[in-house]
Chain A
């Protein structure tokens, strides 16, 4: 059974169609790379899948829960939006203690997990004891990532998780994402950094103008590019998101 499944998922704001009839199935324990240019509808899709926005039409289930049923969804998902959801006036420890308490996690287990993840992400205790208002973008991103995966959710939604991270931390995060998937967590990863997707994603979906114009393994997408020559995912992305308007809908779907 797919961990994420959408059928005709659509979101309209007035006359503007943000997401148009999205049909998607993401296997449990896989990493799904969600690509698309700015304004394609990626974030709106994530918001619908996390229950933050109700679809105008269609249906979505996440880890077996209907995406409009927030009570069922909450324990199953973790979400790292593009803007790290952190309180400036808290310290990282206070923020993570807060999140662990909201999830009613076992204190001992929460402590071990927080310490382990912060250690892996190279955020030492002296930094984690300082106010988030004084953090760099990368430090905020690290804390927000820990917060999103603290409760070991079935599905985690990551919107630009490597944004602002230094190369070492970005590499660690890619390893952590791979470990999450190895542990059975489904990762829904939205990013503009295509090499990240190439490295960690099992499947890639490309959204353009609210429509899914391509879906498949990164290597498949490369092969499917018009010339058929071995090219990068970036080339495939650029081609698909440039010509998609003129192509028949679903032409590139896998």
Chain B
């Protein structure tokens, strides 16, 4: 039962939450820049296309044409994609209201749910605002009518609101299953990965017409939700189907009302019910034994183990592994390059623009980076309130070695994975082994660099990931710096193995680029011209080097530089830890 004036309370709660999240983004410069980039880049691309095509459309308006079924189906596909992302976001980050003890003892679940929907809708609308504004203006210009000034914002708002409501419903339902069903609770990581693979697999079938068993988006035009795009044709020369438009509006209304009602019921059950214990019946869970305390950490990370190191270093390594296992949300940041890189490459391979052999070098690079970045890019922040205890208990050398150990344990896995993928991609054994070696080296160097960078640029403030307000992923700056330091030389090293000619060309830029630039300002003679020609000669000299020399020379230099950088990183991390003042 909702309290009186619940709608007003929900609007107030939603706008308060929205302002809070905007302030949080504004305070985090790195996140703000990333968001601005991700919003403005597609807007600029779209703007460029609009500048090219809008005048042509204006001159040749397709009078009387109906809205194509593929557009309605595409809208449905896009809506489903949005629902999936918003559902993931809800189950992982918003399954409870922020400051739940306050909210749930102050307002009804309906108010809390609707407030959350309002806040999320405002966030999404803010995100799409520049693109939507551009589409609105371009529509008005291209069709020479003011109708899009009304229809585009209307359709956009309904589209976003319905996707948010459906996403909340899906997210609360997922969180409810995790909270109530022991099997789901125990296997939630695997199950969510399976759901994501199935969803994105289906999505790709609709998106990539060139792949086998691909599906036509027009098939989804039967789903009435996408019919709402028919409203965009109102007031334009495009023919408008009132049946489709009314069907779309009714479906959206049903999603908003029905979905909102169901989301409220499930959320109330989720928030006020008892959670199951995911370790119930789990033999690996700690049980009361004769010696419960001693060896508890070793049992907790089982079947993993930390060989080779002993004493306090091993304890730090064990805890680092346990934290990664118990708090996997903190590793989410690794998914960006993994999914972004591999799925992007996979898409290009499927479309035939890139050879499958590209997977070998890509795995060497990405797996090497992941191995290095996984455990130690925010060590001080990861410690949370335990940091004073850690600083007063272990030395920097012990601590940093403990952080390095789990990452170094991944070296054989990275090597084997790279070798397997490279051989499967068609490389000879020599090249495959060299790529595996590069992967191993990058893992080790990345592991050694990560604590230094992480301690230098720590993130202490927790952000909300998963159902925890207490997750501290690495700072964007730390992630970017580590990525640049591993990826750029790593790409050169991989290139030295599989494309030495390209590396030779890039390295020759050391001479060619300054030579070219100086040549622009120099005359045909004089001091600058002499210097410019000297640089040109250096570039030409490098370009004339045999490829074997490039492979071993550049590769050797980069490998040695990596080892040196890793050593310096390790020393720096130890020094910074020993000198760190947490207050």
Binding site for B on A (CB under 8 A): 44, 47, 50-54, 70-71, 73-74, 77, 79, 81, 83-91, 93-94, 96-104, 107-108, 110-111, 114-115, 125-126, 128-129, 147
Contact = CB atoms under 8 A, between A and B. Distances in A.
> Closest 4 A-B residue pairs measured CB to CB?
A101-B315, A85-B389, A89-B326, A93-B296
Interface residues of B, number: 41
B514 interface: no
Contacts of A86: 385-386
A203 B388 CA distance: 26
A101 B313 CA distance: 9
A74 B395 contact: yes
Given A50-B388, A102-B393, A129-B288, A91 B581 contact: no
Interface majority SS on B: helix, strand, loop or mixed?
helix
Nearest to B387: A85
A83 to B, nearest CB: 5
Contacts of B387: 85
Interface in B369-394: 384-394
Contacts of A50: 388, 392
Contacts, number: 124
Given A52-B582, A102-B312, 7 more contacts: A70-B392, A70-B395, A74-B395, A88-B470, A101-B315, A102-B390, A114-B294
A58 to B, nearest CB: 16
A108 B294 CA distance: 8
A126 B323 contact: no
B385 A91 contact: no
B581 A52 contact: yes
A25 B319 CA distance: 38
B315 A93 contact: no
Contact of A104 (B288, B293, B312): B312
Given A94-B296, A94-B322, A96-B293, A71 B395 contact: yes
B288 A79 contact: no
A126 B582 contact: no
A223 B578 CA distance: 45
A89 B315 contact: no
22 contacts: A52-B391, A71-B395, A73-B392, A79-B392, A81-B385, A81-B388, A81-B389, A87-B323, A88-B384, A90-B319, A93-B286, A93-B292, A93-B293, A93-B296, A97-B295, A101-B297, A102-B316, A102-B398, A114-B294, A115-B293, A125-B288, A126-B288
B579 to A, nearest CB: 9
A52 B316 CA distance: 20
Contacts of A44: 583
B279 to A, nearest CB: 9
Nearest to B325: A89
A110 B385 contact: no
A110 B293 contact: yes
B244 interface: no
B212 interface: no
Contacts of B470: 88
A91 B288 CA distance: 12
B333 to A, nearest CB: 18
A96 B297 CA distance: 9
Nearest to B287: A129
Contacts of A89: 322-323, 326-327
